[in-house]
Structure 1
């Protein structure tokens, strides 16, 4: 019975081994095809290496969303002079008091042809306030352009560093695949000489298959990230992006967090935009209060008459000259002007509260970015100077021990996969730190965030 149980166990091991071998062979066939397909893109377009600064320059120059906001700013610059100018005068032509029986101009003394000009004149100060509010709107739009540019730069840098991490992750996967192939060769040699187990070979092949699957997933993720970066730079979505291998790994010290808050209050375009909106709302409130005062309308009319006066006056009929002055009476001020003042007051308070809320969000974004940067910086240093080198030494030591049958193969594979994960964490820490810096620059509103 014990022998039968052992035989069944051996049969299951062999069966699983055959399944693993089939999957392994399939991936060995598919993976090279994926690599060839990926290389075809590079051969077609002969891509240029794109560094971080180049990507930012291209995006700032070509991004359509930024161009749209810039055109809106240009359009608003044309508004102040329009609203600050008097309304166009009205020219009138009138035919007055024509007799309906003959329509003869000489028949009646009051028959005349008139030409007149009238002009609406708002109460003093109204036009100036309208122009002032429009100028603030244009100024706020200018700050909006700066804010959109700032967020665009942040997004480009973040996508660039995500791509850089994926490139290094793919390199790490390939290196570990090569290491596992070395394990397979050693395990097969020991198995063929009777010093090893078939399970060791199957286990190494399974781990290699998993790495191949992970490579397929990483390539898909990288392509999706490249599409997003291409869109930000207004390039075709399927353009190939090649990044440099060597980048700066410096982790500069940041300025004090409170000083970053102060910098943001003076430098962040979004806060400037909201402050300008408050000024515009104040001008509109002043204008609403000025609407209690009436507007004026001035007009002059010249009347041309023909024919002669009857005796005893006699002589030709003289022409007429008329002057008109009109005043708009705010008769319904309780339903119009008062409501407008109340509306503008609420809008002013709304903008003030929005500014306070946004300042809180900005300080939170600064603190969050600082925290993420410090964490990633410490992890990058720890992985680079301690954990990864130690894990590499552990794998080399275990491989040497396995070759002389002093180390179990499962522990060797586990140490290798641990090294693989640590190497990924090393590159991820670098990418996370750089992305945190990009977010911090955007939150503060300028790049001078260092000591």
Structure 2
């Protein structure tokens, strides 16, 4: 019991660090409320959080801004128009002499295409970052939902155990009054009942904390009431094989997509750095009335820059190559780490499934039989009351561990989906359940 409460306390502290602050000056979206005939489900809660999460909205706006930079990157500079007059040349017949020029700068062929590729891949990287954050928010939200479910189940288990102990306390007092039990039995029942009440106070405090965390994710006041969590359906179907999950992750995971985009952007920057060793062109035309001969007044011209400082350009090229190599090594490293996380997450899902099945098929029936046998032996005089208390504690611990294993199933499946980058088709509450 204490280990379960300790794990929950650590989880609450973690949620405190990741939750987005509710009270801030910028405009916010908030979820407008729940229907009274609804159960809270993991998928629906994640959907609501994604709608109102300000961090996700901010990075999506950044991705939109990056997308708007693609077209300007491939555009030519604006043409330049210059105009001048020679005021001292004014005469009555010809007026004042003047000159105007129009010029356009044209980069070396391929430069504009490389700039566009850099901007496009930078936009893809930011978009992939938004997808990564979305996966993280979904996993954190489902973990919060799992704790909300566990708290309700733990309170229900405690209430049922308290009701049983109330009955046992009355029985013990009657047996003590008739001389069939010792005063120690009555005191043991009373102590155990008060211990349960103390544990219930801890659970109620934790319920307030997790309610506040979920409301923070939804950007609403911490004391806003939430529906009960829907019963978690744990599938006995095995998750996809590691090879299938690996294929999904390597194809769809946004973190790998982001690094691939960084590599492509780096390669385009290398191309740009190489183009910098070549001159840019500037073409223009103009008219100069200072010339007496009218045929000399129209002017057509072209000019180029002379890239003399090769050292500066070589440094920029080497920098681009080094940054691209860095992205390539990061991709290799992160790919290996991702597959390791994926294998671990799959193993944890299978463990959670097996644990739930073990509790349902074996441990819970045994704990119930153990408790019933201890109560029957005590009532018949064949067993002591201490055996009843021990059996009751074993039953309470088993029920709480069963509820924890169900909550862990939701949390671990969410982690598996996070590392896969795609939804896993296993049984989970996927729509709002209506109370029956």
TM-score bucket (shorter structure): 0.7 to 0.9
- Residue aligning to 1:326: 303
Q: Of 368, 374, 378, which residue of structure 1 is paired with 2:354?
A: 378
Q: Structure 2: how far apart are the matches of 1:110 and 1:278?
A: 61
Q: Structure 2: how far apart are the matches of 1:87 and 1:45?
A: 54
- Residue aligning to 2:25: none
Preserved CA contact (<8 Å) 2:234 2:353: no
1:416-427 equivalences under 5 Å are 416-427=392-403
Number of residue equivalences: 393
Q: By how many angstroms is 1:427 displaced?
A: 1.0
Give yes or no for the alignment of 1:92 onto 2:82: yes
TM-score by length of 1: 0.81
Give yes or no for the alignment of 1:429 onto 2:429: no
Indicate the SS of the match to 1:337: helix
- Residue aligning to 1:190: 175
Q: Would the alpha carbon gap of residues 330 and 422 (structure 1) be closer, same or farther in structure 2, given more than 3 Å must change?
A: same
Indicate the SS of the match to 2:310: coil
Q: Of 316, 320, 339, which residue of structure 1 is paired with 2:315?
A: 339
TM-score by length of 2: 0.83
Unaligned runs of 5+ residues in structure 1 are 1-43, 310-315
Q: By how many angstroms is 1:180 displaced?
A: 1.4
1:346-365 equivalences under 5 Å are 346-365=322-341
Q: Would the alpha carbon gap of residues 83 and 245 (structure 1) be closer, same or farther in structure 2, given more than 3 Å must change?
A: closer
Q: By how many angstroms is 1:221 displaced?
A: 1.8
Q: Note the alpha carbon deviations across 1:279-329, whole angstroms, 9 max, x for none.
A: 1111111111111101122233323459xx8xxxxxx99983334432111
Give yes or no for the alignment of 1:59 onto 2:46: no
Q: Structure 2: how far apart are the matches of 1:222 and 1:174?
A: 15
1:72-91 equivalences under 5 Å are 72-91=62-81
1:300-319 equivalences under 5 Å are 300-304=285-289
Preserved CA contact (<8 Å) 2:284 2:300: yes
Preserved CA contact (<8 Å) 1:395 1:415: yes
Q: By how many angstroms is 1:359 displaced?
A: 0.8
Q: Would the alpha carbon gap of residues 229 and 449 (structure 1) be closer, same or farther in structure 2, given more than 3 Å must change?
A: same
- Residue aligning to 2:61: 71
Q: Structure 1: how far apart are the matches of 2:309 and 2:360?
A: 76
Indicate the SS of the match to 1:54: helix
> Which has more radius of gyration?
1
Q: Note the alpha carbon deviations across 1:47-99, whole angstroms, 9 max, x for none.
A: 54322232122123332222222222221111111010001111222234x5x
Give yes or no for the alignment of 1:128 onto 2:113: yes
Indicate the SS of the match to 2:199: helix
Preserved CA contact (<8 Å) 2:100 2:288: yes
Q: Structure 1: how far apart are the matches of 2:95 and 2:34?
A: 87
Q: Would the alpha carbon gap of residues 323 and 245 (structure 1) be closer, same or farther in structure 2, given more than 3 Å must change?
A: closer
Preserved CA contact (<8 Å) 2:108 2:279: yes
Preserved CA contact (<8 Å) 2:145 2:229: no
* More relative contact order, 1 or 2 (CA 8 Å, 6+ apart): 2
Q: Note the alpha carbon deviations across 1:216-259, whole angstroms, 9 max, x for none.
A: 21122222222222333344333222224534232321222133
Q: Structure 1: how far apart are the matches of 2:294 and 2:394?
A: 113
Q: Would the alpha carbon gap of residues 119 and 158 (structure 1) be closer, same or farther in structure 2, given more than 3 Å must change?
A: same
Preserved CA contact (<8 Å) 1:161 1:435: yes
Q: By how many angstroms is 1:439 displaced?
A: 0.9
Q: Structure 1: how far apart are the matches of 2:189 and 2:360?
A: 27
Give yes or no for the alignment of 1:389 onto 2:365: yes
Q: By how many angstroms is 1:210 displaced?
A: 1.7
